[in-house]
Amino acid sequence: MDALSLSDAWEAKAAEWAAWARTPEHDQFFEALNWPAFRRMLPDARGRTLDVGCGEGRVGRELSRLGHRVTGLDSSPTLVELAREAGGYETVVCESATSMPFADGRFDLAVAFMSLITVDDVGTAVRETARVLTPGGRLCVAILHPLNRPDAAMADYFREHRVSEKIERGGVPMVFEDAHRPLSAYTDALAEAGFAIERLGEPRLDDVAAATAPMPLSNAARKPYFLQLRCRRSR
């Protein structure tokens, strides 16, 4: 979809992403909306957990606090080092989600938090995730809601294409690079890899929280920003 792979694009923006994710109280969409709903969707900690596309490691640190034994995987060498340094993981591996260096059935839970939108080949990444899960293991996914796109990117909803969006908030800039895909691209990939969807969530602020939330977070009472899935490996 682009001359520069998504993996290379995120390696180039690793320092920007670390600043965005680690500035205290900066990423309110993560702190107040996406992560709290995702946490409620997670199964109880048991066995081994794989953080697919772990980035600088904030999700792994949260999982560790919940009692998970976490292995991180990311294709960006810079982000892998940042995740290792910050702690929370038993180990962090620098490798693509489409060629995981793990034995079949190694993990009981896989978490792909906002990472499947940043892989070029989502079908292969999902199949690899299924391979390294135990039979009956869970995959919990969070993605940008397919309807949460700039108007120009939604001119053809069904066409898969790269999206580059620059956002600056509180003096911290970030250029987000990902792939727009229709929802069916994810559900088809999951079904073909042998996953059954157990639960689908669209995090939403209630009216009380929205009344005191800053813009644009307050719009989350009326607009879907994220989509979350809990899946079970059925074969």
DSSP-assigned letters across all residues of 77-122: HHHHHHHHHH---SEEEE--TTS--S-TT-EEEEEEES-GGG-S-H
Mean pLDDT of 29-53: 97
Mean pLDDT of 87-106: 98
Q: What percent of the chain has pLDDT over 70?
A: 99
Categorize the per-residue pLDDT at 3 as very low, low, confident or very high, splitting at 50, 70 and 90.
low
pLDDT in tens, 198-222: 999 999 999 989 999 999 999 999 9
- Amino acid 190: pLDDT: 98
Categorize the per-residue pLDDT at 1 as very low, low, confident or very high, splitting at 50, 70 and 90.
very low
Q: Which domains does the chain have, with CATH numbers?
A: 6-145+183-233 (3.40.50.150)
When the pLDDT of each residue in the chain is averaged and rounded to a whole number, the result is 95
Q: How far is CA 152 from CA 144, 157, 163, 164, in A?
A: 16, 10, 10, 11
The residue type of 176 is F
Tokens of 214: 């800053």
Greatest Cα pair distance, the chain, in angstroms, is 49
pLDDT in tens, 164-187: 999 998 899 999 999 999 999 999
Tokens of 136: 């009956």
Q: What own/partner pairs with CB < 8 Å and gap ≥ 24 does 68-72 have? A: 68/109, 69/45, 71/102, 71/107
pLDDT in tens, 109-152: 999 999 999 999 999 999 999 999 999 999 999 999 999 998 88
- Amino acid 179: pLDDT: 96
pLDDT at residue 162 above 60? yes
